Structure 1
Amino acid sequence: MSGAAGVSRGSVRASSGHSRRAYELVRARIRSGWVPANGVLIENELIHLTGLPRASIRQALNRLADEGLIARQRHSGTRVLGEQYRIPVDDILPSHTPPGFMYRKLSDRVVPMIPLVQAALECDEAEVGVVEQVFEHVTADGAEPVGVRTAYYRPGIHQPESWPTCPSLEFAFRYVFGVALGDVETVIGAVAADDDAAALLHIPVGMPLLVREQRFIDVAGVVQEYSFSHYRADRVSFPLRDRTGRFSGVLAAEPGTPELVAYRERALSVQ
């Protein structure tokens, strides 16, 4: 009896591990942009590519559907929902910026300085500028907001109304602050969307958001900006570059083996 129970518990653990592994592997390929928006995930080929049983693949796909990354329909199959944006952890635009990806200013004002911001900016000014921006992908179907940003900066700086195309961080920093970028300090976290963020991003309250806290420092060591950006966790990820400044093959959008290339072509061909 105890032996049978032990086998049963072991089977449950193995099944749970298979489901988690399938979820991790498939989710990583979706987030990499390997299969783009509206691309089809082919269940039989996922079984082959992961080496995991059908039940685990289906559990993983159901979980991904619950997270809003894919849609599962009986007659049309499983399709990827929405674009995936891979924004380098220390940059402001995706590594492969799609046409129409931009950000625009929602508000810009000067307010009395507060101690926490004063400490972050390392300054003694009596006032501080506060700009709020939204990152969005504008297409013929409308604008999909993917992130909102609040930045604190020293008074006297002009913040652009919008960037019709997202510039590089180095260009934007020099354009706004008139000096070259020296360093960026970044902390990544995660929170649930509150009422304000949900309204701005057109998502349900409580949906996961990635939070990026950053300090932007010029070449003279002066902290020019202190910001908090909130991004949709189902649309945005923050890849890290290797020491050469490139993304690894695993993290790159293009699959690296002939078998994966063939799978991706089949997934796109049925759109």
Structure 2
Amino acid sequence: MGILYIVPTPVGNMEDMTMRAIRVLREADLVLAEDTRTSGILLQHFDIKNRLMSHHKFNEHGTSASIVERLKAGETIALISDAGTPGISDPGFFLAREAARAGITVQCLPGATAFVPAIVSSGLPCDRFCFEGFLPQKKGRQTLLEALSTETRTMIFYESPYRLVKTLEQFASVFGETRQCSVCREISKVHEESVRGTLAEVLAHFRETEPRGEIVVCVAGIGEGEMSSFKALKAQAKERKPKLSNKERYALREAAPEEFKKKKFRNQEE
């Protein structure tokens, strides 16, 4: 049996590459890359002369089986993404799972991951947090945000500069404008920047200053005071929910179209 190495690569500064990562990439029988052009530049920078094979989200379901067979035959294969750690909002999970299921040793090297420096430098609690990565662009987005509205841990999101303002507007609407947050962009690069404050303050900043680069957003979890207020409002809303008398239920049922009488009003009578 061979070994599958998950190898983190720099998210910015090339000096963030570890000596072990360089050695593994040099000694591997094959290097799998999310984008061979981007990874080719990385390997050239460190004078790594090795074979690259494309492995990304559009082909991983079709190529993983043959890769697992090569690992079974004793090859050592390294997997890298364009930046950061494969599997963290990047391709990698599927192959790692299939290799593990086949009894192959899977080793992930310690290294660069954008959200770690972002949360540690955010000024928000980082002892307990939840990583959400990229939010769904459409379906399920609002439902997920509402589910996170009572999350007590610091929340971490990835976002593109083109959607940042819209996302912050949604956060302010769901979490409240006074919730603390931090937007960290261009981590480990020349123009690295962290903007901290309430959601209202950070939103105002990026409405005036066009966001650029790769972005990590950290949002504080709900506080004890906020949680108490939320529960109180929820209880009040439940109490204000109109209760129909039997006469009113009957009138509504008679006025409803036939197809809804059995479905919609059955639950109201129960």
TM-score category, normalised to shorter length: under 0.3
TM norm structure 2:
0.21
Larger radius of gyration: 2
TM norm structure 1:
0.21
- Bigger proportion of residues as strand: 1
- Bigger proportion of residues as helix: 2
